[in-house]
Every structure is written in C-alpha cells, then in structure tokens.
A and B are shown apart, each in its own frame.
Chain A
Amino acid sequence: RKEVEQDPGPFNVPEGATVAFNCTYSNSASQSFFWYRQDCRKEPKLLMSVYSSGNEDGRFTAQLNRASQYISLLIRDSKLSDSATYLCVVTGDSSYKLIFGSGTRLLVRP
C-alpha cells in the first residue's frame, strides 16, 4: 500500500464548478499535512497547510480526518488557472520528511 494515495484523475470540470479531491495516508503517526499544486514542468507551490480544525483560503477549503486518515481539498468556483496537478503531502516517521502523493490532475475547461 502506498504511503499517500490519490486518485490520479484527470478531473475535467467546467469553469465555475466545485470539485473535491481526497487523499488517504497510511501512517497514523503523521503530524502535518499540506496541499501543493504543481503546474506542468514547474516546481510544487504550497497551496495550504491542513489543520485538524480544517481551514479555508478563499475558494479553497481543506479538511483533515485523522480517524479515517484522509485529507480533502475542495475548490469552489473553479477558474481556468486552477488547472494543475494537486499534490497531497504528509510528514513521515521523521517530521522533516515530506511524503508526496502522486498527484491529482485537474483540468478546468471554458
């Protein structure tokens, strides 16, 4: 079983749609959780950290369910510029080490 699992997609949605991604992780000792976005041939960029209480940043909402060991990302009112690969990231046994999921690809069409 992979340490971090994501649906690879692609999710193909129209502009203005709401889309949700889920991610599951295997290590119950993981302490920190993040969503990064990565555009084609670019570096990963931090989108948001994910807190136990959930957090929201504009159109983006992240949730953490420790009991079920999954993380979600909700994007409302999708824009063309949201087209990217979204990487779910958790810390491993050593807190400095980030474990990356393989990413979920989002395509937002006009």
Chain B
Amino acid sequence: DTEVTQTPKHLVMGMTNKKSLKCEQHMGHRAMYWYKQKAKKPPELMFVYSYEKLSINESVPSRFSPECPNSSLLNLHLHALQPEDSALYLCASSLRGGNNVDEQYFGPGTRLTVT
C-alpha cells in the first residue's frame, strides 16, 4: 500500500494565525518531503527529512517550520503567512534516506488559502 495521508484537506487562515499541516505514512519509508505547488506549476521542494533529521531546507522562509516527531509523521507549522503562500502543500515519502534514489509517493495535499 503506497499511501501517504495528509490533514486537513483544506485550510483557510488569516495572516496572524498559527496552524499546522500533518502528514503520515506507514510504509516504513525513511525519507519524507514537503513540497509547495502553485496552480499550473510543478511542485517545488521545500524540506527533506532523512531518518527523521532535517537534511535539506530549500531556503524556505522561517514562517514555515517543519517537524518530524517520528519516522511516520511529518508536520509543517505555519505562522504569519502571506497571501502569496496560498498553494497546494504536498507531502511525499520514499523508501530510503540519505543519497539513495527511490520513487517518491505523494499525499493528496492540503489546499491552503491565506486571507
């Protein structure tokens, strides 16, 4: 079963709010990813966790704060976002971490609107 789940499916938040996006996989994958996707554009990588440690931050603003509580869970904490941060936020996972190359499996995403 190649299933990655994400909650919530939709989120509307004001610029002063704090919210969190959640991602979960039970496939034993050791790498997890956050992507941002704007309409009619391909996904853009934000963060990579490998073996529960943050290995890559693609110069993402600090108003986005990732967290990996355990090997199955990945959170993205949001604070003081801007309207231009409105997008589809996708979580993905892959079997191995480190420099291994594996297929990435995506969750259904959270559609975020910042008002």
Contacts and interface: CB of A to CB of B under 8 A. Distances in A.
Contacts of A43: 90, 106-109
Contacts of A46: 2, 103-105
Nearest to A101: B42
B42 A96 contact: no
B45 interface: yes
A21 interface: no
Contacts of B31: 96
B107 to A, nearest CB: 6
A103 B99 contact: no
Nearest to B42: A100
B48 A96 contact: yes
Interface residues of A, number: 21
Interface string A45-88: 11001000000000000000000000000000000000000010
Interface in B2-52: 2, 31, 41-43, 45, 48, 50
A42 B56 contact: no
Contacts of A31: 101
A44 interface: yes
Contact of A87 (B42, B48, B98, B103): B42
A95 B100 contact: yes
B56 A94 contact: yes
Given A43-B108, A43-B109, A97-B56, A91 B101 contact: yes
Interface in B33-91: 41-43, 45, 48, 50, 55-56, 88, 90
B108 A42 contact: yes
A63 B2 CA distance: 24
26 contacts: A31-B101, A34-B103, A41-B88, A41-B111, A43-B106, A43-B107, A44-B43, A45-B106, A46-B105, A49-B103, A87-B42, A94-B56, A95-B100, A96-B50, A96-B55, A96-B56, A96-B94, A96-B97, A96-B98, A96-B100, A97-B45, A97-B48, A97-B56, A98-B45, A100-B43, A101-B42
